[in-house]
Each structure stands twice: as C-alpha cells, then as structure tokens.
Amino acid sequence: MTDAHAPAALAGAVHLGSGKIRELYAVDDRLLLVASDRISAFDYVLETPIPDKGRILTQLSLWWFERLADLVPNHLVSADVADYPGALAGQTVELRGRSMLCERLDMFPIECVARGYLTGSGLAEYRVSSTVCGLPLPDGLVDGSRLDEPLFTPAAKAAVGEHDENISFDAVVARTGAAAAGELRRLTLAVYAAARDIALGRGIILADTKFEFGRRSGGAIVLADEVLTPDSSRFWPVDQWQPGRPQQSFDKQFVRDWLTSPDSGWDPKSDQPPPPLPAEIVERTRDRYVEAYQRLTGRTFQ
C-alpha cells in the first residue's frame, strides 16, 4: 500500500469503502483504517503519490491520541500489527506503520471544526457577511488574524469529491440532538485548546483543525478517524506568521501552488483532472510533512 491507491482487496478483511486518503475494512468486530500515500487537492485525488505520507499521518495521529487520552477517549485498539487478528498475518509489511485497528462506533455526520485563526472558508464567509458559520466577528480582520476566542464552526460531511458544507450550531442540534451537539462543541474546543498549546510550544500555530467523533454503544462520545495531521489541520510556523497574507503552512501548499501556476498548464475551473506532479514538488511536499511530524513530536521520522 505504498503506491497512490491502496488496493480494495485485503486478505482477512472486508473492504467497506475508500476515502480520499484512507481505506476502511471490517475485521471481525473491529475496523481497520489504512492510510495510503494518496494526496488530494481541489477535490481531486491526484495521480501522483507522496512517499511515506500515509505512515506520517498515522504516526502523528497516534502521537496525538496519546497526549489527548486524558481529555477524551479515542477509538484506537492497537496500531501494532502483532496485535492484529491472525487473518491479517500475511500482510504485516503492507500494514505496518500506516494502519490502525479501531472500535466500531456510531459516527456523527458532522465535521467538528475549531478555528483559532481566520482563513480558508471562514475568511471567505467573513468577507461577505462578517460572520463564520453565522457567528459574528469584529470588523477589520484579515487573512491569518488570530480570533479572540476559538470558534466551533461545524460542517456537514460531504461525499468524496464534494465540499463539506459549513453549517450552524442549530443545524448540528437538528442532526444530533441538543445534548450531543453541546458535547461535540465542548470536546472540539477543549481538544483544540490543548493541541494549540502543545503545538505553540514547538513553534507551530494550530490555525484550525477538524475532528470526527462517534458514539459507543453505551453512549460515550469518542474521538475517531485521524487527528491533528497536516491533512486535517492548518499548521503554520510561528516565526513566519504575518496576518494580511496567505501563511506558510506544513501541508500540501507546494502542490496547490504548482497546480495553480502556469507551469502545470491546468485550469482548476476545468472539468479535467490535474496533471501528474513533478518530482521536485513531490519531494518538497514530503519534506514538509516530515518536518511537521518531527517538529511536533521531537522524534526523527524513520
């Protein structure tokens, strides 16, 4: 599973579906999440993979799960392939470092987004209405402005290839019930605040992030999917933060910049898929993911 597209077939498991980056399998009464090296941009899964990306995302999620365990339970059963069911024994090389055996949960149909800084779709809405998800903000904010208080700005999950739709808190209540909506908001902001402070101590601004939560059969709300990676979060280097312009970031910025440059020859408004990425862009993007992992964890990525 080191190429762009993780295979749907995995001996000893039932393939349940494919996301932009991950493959989801049923293994007995558990779920197996496998992160590929695929990368997406402009709602396309690109033809060219980023080597080791799936391993970096998985290892970073595991690091965060450890640090947040006292704040919120998570769905992880094990990421050690030696603990996996025997039916998967013949595929340990493919699964090692990029997979997680997880609980089955009743997932909430909500992307739980926390924003501490104004950018992205929040900035686009603010420029039109001075609000984000209907929440009023003061005048005079610019791209990259730090917000006085982090905001819970949820989104409705969209199908692969479509945009998530920002929704109001009332819309979350309508989808989940008032008690669950309140707890999702509380957990989202609490986890964001804890992660923001950890990242800041390592010279990184956590501008915004999105979480997914599910519910156990007993009713407990659990943190699920990946968490606090460059694919689900905006990480900015503190020493380069300058409100009023797009920020340098630890993610697929090099990919987006190249695709929108004359060098790519591609028009994002066309119905044509993006072209393959050149080797230099692949290498620089991989380096950025590795740097994010190493700066956050203090570990060397092997």
How many C-beta atoms lie closer than 10 Å to residue 97's C-beta?
17
Q: Is the pLDDT of residue 195 over 90?
A: yes
Q: Which residue has the higher pLDDT, 157 or 6?
A: 157
The residue assigned the tokens 């007993």 is 218
- Residue 3 banded pLDDT, cuts 50, 70, 90: very low
pLDDT digits over 278-292, tens only? Answer: 999 999 999 999 999
Q: What is the pLDDT of residue 8?
A: 63
Mean pLDDT of the chain: 92
Q: Is the pLDDT of residue 1 over 50?
A: no
Q: What's the predicted TM-score (pTM) here? A: 0.92
State the Cα–Cα distance between residues 146 and 117, nearest whole angstrom.
4
The closest of 129, 126, 164, 128 to 145, measured between CA atoms, is: 126
Domain ranges of the chain: 14-102, 106-240
Q: Would you say how long the chain is, in residues?
A: 302
Domain 14-102, CATH homologous superfamily name and number: Phosphorylase Kinase; domain 1 (3.30.200.20)
Q: Which two tokens stand for residue 273?
A: 């898929």
The closest of 66, 84, 68, 93 to 25, measured between CA atoms, is: 84
178 CB-near residues (< 8 Å, 6+ apart): none
* Mean pLDDT confidence for 25-50: 94
Q: What is the pLDDT of residue 11?
A: 86
7 CB-near residues (< 8 Å, 6+ apart): 1, 23
Q: What is the pLDDT of residue 42?
A: 87
DSSP string, 67-89: HHTTTS-B-EEE--GGGS-GGGG
118 CB-near residues (< 8 Å, 6+ apart): 126, 132, 137, 141, 142, 143, 144, 145, 147
Q: Which CATH architecture has domain 106-240?
A: 2-Layer Sandwich (3.30)
Burial of 175 from C-beta contacts in 10 A (0-12 / 13-18 / 19+): middle
Burial of 14 from C-beta contacts in 10 A (0-12 / 13-18 / 19+): exposed
Q: What is the pLDDT of residue 162?
A: 58
